[in-house]
Amino acid sequence: MLEIKSVTCVKQERCLFESLSFALDAGQIMQVEGPNGAGKTSLLRIIAGFANADDGDVTFEGYSISERYDDFAAELLFIGHKTGVNGQLTAYENVCHWLDVHGYQRAENIYDILAQLGLVGLEDVPVRTLSAGQQRRVALARLWMNNAKVWILDEPFTALDKKGVAMLQQQFMHQLDRGGAILLTTHQDLTAQFSGLKKVILEYRH
Amino acid sequence: MKASHSYWQLFCAVYCKDLTLAFRQRAEIVNPLLFFLIVITLFPLAIGPEPALLSRMAPGIIWVAALLSTMLGLDKVFRDDFNDGSLEQLIASSYPLPLSVLAKVLAHWTITGLPMVLMAPVFALLMNLDTQLLTATLLTLLIGTPLLSFIGAIGAALTVALQKGGILMSLLVLPLYIPVLIFATSAIDTSSMSLAYGGQLAILGAMLAVAAVMAPLAISSALKVSVS
């Protein structure tokens, strides 16, 4: 489904990775591993189409994502370090805004999903007053209301408690079961057993 | 779950979000207006309260004040969205980015430009402006301030990734503001001589039409560069 073809990335005259190739198929989850500064985020941003690779190409279902970015974006869900949650808006408003901007209908069960994520009673307070983990949960609520084929998640477990991590992995299972694919970076090991787990290991290069 | 693509839905979502945020942090609306008011009240004190002199200078002062207070809010147009990652989410949406950008620029105009146009008659009283000149000033402001927002947003998009982009943005944007200022003040001058100033207004209108079409495209490209 998603193919990374000999991608090279150079930052500040340091080569992060060179001629990196791998493929991600439906039902697979790929974990990018490596020490800090190895280029995990850079790789994810190239695959999500925010940054251009210095060499190589990324294709989705056979077409190059840079040529038909809008088609790719319709099938992509990206949550980065900066999650896109506005601190002045409430959790409910944040979720609704995200749904509107991405062309999803506002589901009736938004409050249920937020409750499931442990945000009962906090739906209508500004997000900046919530804890880091709760803010992360507001961003992750998107995973429960989309039908994107590819999820690209940069450190999704940051600030989450154990229960949150377990719940998130349940949702990963659901995504894989319906034929989606997941690309993520994390320093934690995934605790759930994923049958389609693949790993890419990036070395820190000097 | 995916709704049929409605561009109107996207436009409203982005526009309403920016307005909601502005109303929650009122300083964003009040600051440019206050700045506008301060400049206009200080001028008569500094140059002397002679009515003839004031009404001669008023349109120019109002226009320069409007131009500067537009720039005051420009840095904020994309800054917050850039910092919290919302900009990435807009880019990674299947909707065209120029449309979201258009909504954001119009929201900026609604927050800074429109209140200035509405307050201009009150300020005109302070400057002893007669009705004929006031009409010309209002018309040029009505066409000119959105133009300032469109042009300024290009500079804001180019400098959003820089930590202290404010000064660079002013340097980029001010030269582009000069034609707007020249045609606007020329329209007002012409009106003070009781001549028809439709020509200058038409040129401003043409500039606005071009900016409304081209600026969102330029801003989108600039934002993509800033985000990468």
Residues across chain B: 228
Q: Is the pLDDT of residue B20 over 90?
A: yes
Q: Is the pLDDT of residue A91 over 90?
A: yes
Give the closest of B10, B84, B96 to A85, CB-based: B84
Give the closest of A76, A80, A101 to B85, CB-based: A80
Nearest CA in chain B to A70: B94
In this predicted model, what pLDDT tens digit does every residue of B151-199 receive, in sequence order? Answer: 999 999 999 998 887 888 989 999 999 999 999 999 999 998 999 999 9
Q: Is residue A80 part of a domain?
A: no
Q: Is residue A26 part of a domain?
A: yes
pLDDT band of residue B1 (cuts 50, 70, 90) is very low
Residues A112 and A53 in one domain: no
Q: Is residue A91 part of a domain?
A: yes
Residues A12 and A69 in one domain: yes
Quick check: B220 contacting A, CB < 8 Å? no
**Contact assignment for B88 to A80 by CB distance below 8 Å:** yes
Q: What percent of chain B has pLDDT over 90?
A: 59
Q: Is residue A176 part of a domain?
A: yes
Q: Is residue A42 part of a domain?
A: yes
Q: What is the 3-state secondary structure (H, E, C) of B141-182?
A: HHHHHHHHHHHHHHHHHHHCCCCCCHHHHHHHHHHHHHHHHH
Give, in degrees to the nearest 5, the angle at Cα A186 between A183 and A188.
Answer: 135
Q: What is the 3-state secondary structure (H, E, C) of A23-71?
A: EECCCCEEEEECCCCCCHHHHHHHHCCCCCCCEEEEEECCEECCCCHHH
Mean pLDDT rounded to a whole number for chain A: 90
Please state the φ and ψ torsions of residue A14, each to the nearest 5 degrees.
-120, 130
What residues in A contact B224, CB-CB < 8 Å? Answer: 50
**Placement of tokens 């009962």 in the chain:** A120
Cα B140 to Cα B113: distance, rounded to the nearest angstrom: 12
pLDDT band of residue A176 (cuts 50, 70, 90) is very high
A12 Cβ neighbours under 8 A, 6+ residues apart: none
CATH of the domain at A49: 3.40.50.300
Q: What is the dihedral of CA A60, A152, B84, B17, to 10 degrees?
A: 60
Pairing of strands A197-201, A181-185: unpaired
Predicted pLDDT at B164: 80
pLDDT band of residue B4 (cuts 50, 70, 90) is low
For A96, the domain range is 85-147
Domain boundaries, chain B: 7-227
ipTM at complex level: 0.89
Residues A4 and A69 in one domain: yes
Question: Which of the residue ranges A24-33, A193-202, B112-121 would you say has the lowest mean pLDDT?
Answer: A193-202
Strands of chain A (E only): list them: 2-11, 14-24, 29-33, 55-60, 63-64, 76-79, 150-154, 181-185, 197-201
Quick check: A80 contacting B, CB < 8 Å? yes
Domains: count for chain A: 2
Residues across chain A: 206
Quick check: A102 contacting B, CB < 8 Å? yes
Nearest CA in chain B to A50: B228
Nearest CA in chain A to B87: A84
What residues in B contact A51, CB-CB < 8 Å? Answer: 228
Residues A57 and A111 in one domain: no
Which whole number is the average pLDDT over A116-120?
Answer: 90
Give, in degrees to the nearest 5, the angle at Cα A172 between A35 and A17.
Answer: 30
pTM summary value:
0.91
Residues A143 and A155 in one domain: no
pLDDT band of residue A204 (cuts 50, 70, 90) is confident
- Residue pair B158/B227 in contact (Cβ under 8 Å)? The answer is no
Residues A69 and A97 in one domain: no
Q: Is the pLDDT of residue B43 over 90?
A: no
Residues A196 and A139 in one domain: no
Q: Which residues pair with A33 in a beta bridge?
A: A201
Residues A4 and A66 in one domain: yes
Q: What is the CA radius of gyration of chain A?
A: 17
Residues A70 and A160 in one domain: yes
pLDDT band of residue B28 (cuts 50, 70, 90) is confident
Select from A117, A147, A177 the last residue of a domain: A147
Residues A71 and A91 in one domain: no
Cα A137 to Cα A167: distance, rounded to the nearest angstrom: 11
Nearest CA in chain A to B103: A101
Please state the φ and ψ torsions of residue A2, each to the nearest 5 degrees.
-115, 125
Cα A93 to Cα B205: distance, rounded to the nearest angstrom: 37
Residues A40 and A142 in one domain: no
Residues A3 and A59 in one domain: yes
Quick check: A3 contacting B, CB < 8 Å? no
